[in-house]
Amino acid sequence: GESVGLHLPTLSVQEGDNSIINCAYSNSASDYFIWYKQESGKGPQFIIDIRSNMDKRQGQRVTVLLNKTVKHLSLQIAATQPGDSAVYFCAETDYSGNTPLVFGKGTRLSVIA
């Protein structure tokens, strides 16, 4: 079936550098995308979302980019900090909320101090 996937399973970055985590999705009907951060032993934590009528959305130190042409999402984290170390998941659904979230496998981000 259609699913969300990630290009890079692990990513190591130096503290202070910018991080980019990528995600490909395959369901063209999805119109809402969310990035979650999951620390060990905890549930996924909402980071930032984007609707399909946008191609960029910024939060605090995070930016999500959406390229609908190639069905690609990315999460950019500016000035990466040790507290950013976690597994990051992208998820897709529809804006009505009638479709459950479909998650990818996750990318582990390790920040080197």
Partner 1 sequence: DTGVSQNPRHKITKRGQNVTFRCDPISEHNRLYWYRQTLGQGPEFLTYFQNEAQLEKSRLLSDRFSAERPKGSFSTLEIQRTEQGDSAMYLCAISLRAYEQYFGPGTRLTVT
End-to-end CA distance of the chain: 40
CB of 60 or CB of 96, closer to partner 1: 96
Among 60, 83, 97, 113, binds partner 1 (CB under 8 A): 97
Q: How far apart (Å, rounded) are the C-alpha atoms in residues 84 and 112? A: 11
Q: How far apart (Å, rounded) are the C-alpha atoms in residues 86 and 88? A: 6
Site for partner 1 in 48-87 (CB under 8 A): 49
Helices (H), the chain: none
Stretch that binds partner 1, among 11-19, 56-64, 68-76, 94-102 (CB under 8 A): 94-102
Among 20, 46, 53, 55, binds partner 1 (CB under 8 A): 46
Q: How far apart (Å, rounded) are the C-alpha atoms in residues 55 and 92? A: 15
Count CB neighbours of 11 within 10 A: 16
CB of 45 or CB of 53, closer to partner 1: 45
- The residue ranges that bind partner 1 (CB under 8 A) are 4, 32, 34, 36, 41-46, 49, 89, 91, 93-98, 100-106
